[in-house]
Amino acid sequence: MMLPTATATAVFLTAAPSSFSTRRRRSRAIFASLSPSFSASEEPLLVRAARGEDGLPRPPAWMMRQAGRYMAEYQALAKRHPSFRERSENTDLIVEITLQPWRAFAPDGVILFSDILTPLPAIGVPFDISDSKGPVIQSPVRSKEQVRELVPIDLDMLQFVGESLKILRNEIDGKAALLGFVGAPWTIATYIVEGGMTNTYTNIKSMCHTAPDVLKGLLSHLAQAISDYIIYQVNSRAQCIQIFDSWGGQLPPHVWEQWSKPYIKQVTLPYFSCFHVLPTSWCCYVSALSYGITLMTPTE
């Protein structure tokens, strides 16, 4: 597990707010298929710790990012399948890569091999991954018209994620917790606005001042899509969800509170509002957020 430090902050989100009456009809339809049936005493150590259970024999240990890329076994597979998109969007390959580090090290958590940008085509944002440049989005979203062209997330385009999670739960067979994950709205918006990786974040930071309404519209759309995607992962038997705000730490505290934190809450609150007994636990990770514990805890 990556513990909170000056360069990385993680908190569990496990508390359910008492009342949130406003829910979108579309989300409500997705929630209907969720049934929070579990026996806490039978659940993996990581899930029990995330829910705040007392008297556990030890803290859970797991690798917050998908492990395996450093392993010779993974490198050999990557040579046979050089496309990252193929490796992260093919059910058989996802399952194999996810299980490689678990077989080697037996951590308490097994995180799905995927990418935070995987759902982008399902909302109308195609992307490629270049070996030299990383993610590449040919048409960055920077205008109100482009935001309007985004579509509600099409979960049928992400069936390989659901299928992989179901297979993995059976393979792990209760010996560890199965973790799904998503990107936070701000981090995903950074890629969509910048068109890929960046060291300066010039365009999205500029939009905070020059086109705040456009940026708010983009972040709100992403928050709804990510929330639906999380519910899909839970329905597919993920036991814990990690939210990665990889670029949140690039913002000063007051800017993160304005442009990232509210949209993380938008992602989580519809889910929390539907359950008094939660079928899934959450972990939120923000890279380089040295001030994070103080600011992130209220996202519960």
Q: Report the share of the chain in percent with pLDDT over 70.
A: 75
Global pTM value: 0.84
Q: What is the pLDDT of residue 295?
A: 54
178 forms bridges with which residues in the sheet?
110
Distance CA 241, CA 219 (A): 20
Sheet hosting strand 281-287, strand order edge to edge: 8-13, 281-287, 240-245, 177-183, 109-111
pLDDT in tens, 202-261: 999 999 999 999 999 999 999 999 999 999 999 999 999 989 998 888 899 899 999 999
Q: What is the pLDDT of residue 26?
A: 47
Q: What is the pLDDT of residue 8?
A: 40
Indicate if the pLDDT at residue 158 is higher than 70: yes
Compare 273 and 174 and report the one with higher pLDDT: 174
115 HSE (CA, 13 A, CB side): 19
What is the overall mean pLDDT for the chain?
82
pLDDT in tens, 121-147: 999 999 999 878 899 999 999 999 999
For the structural domain made of 111-296, what CATH number should be given?
3.20.20.210
Picking from 17-31, 86-100, 135-149, 225-239, which range would have the lowest pLDDT averaged per residue? 17-31
Give the SS3 label for residue 179: strand
The whole-number average pLDDT for the span 33-48 is: 65
Spatial neighbors of 292 by CB under 8 A, at least 6 apart, are 4, 9, 11, 249, 286
Domain limits of the chain?
111-296
- Asked whether the beta carbons of 284 and 245 are under 8 A apart, the reply is yes
pLDDT in tens, 175-190: 999 999 899 999 999 9
Distance CA 151, CA 45 (A): 38
Q: What is the pLDDT of residue 176?
A: 96
Cα maximum dimension of the chain: 54
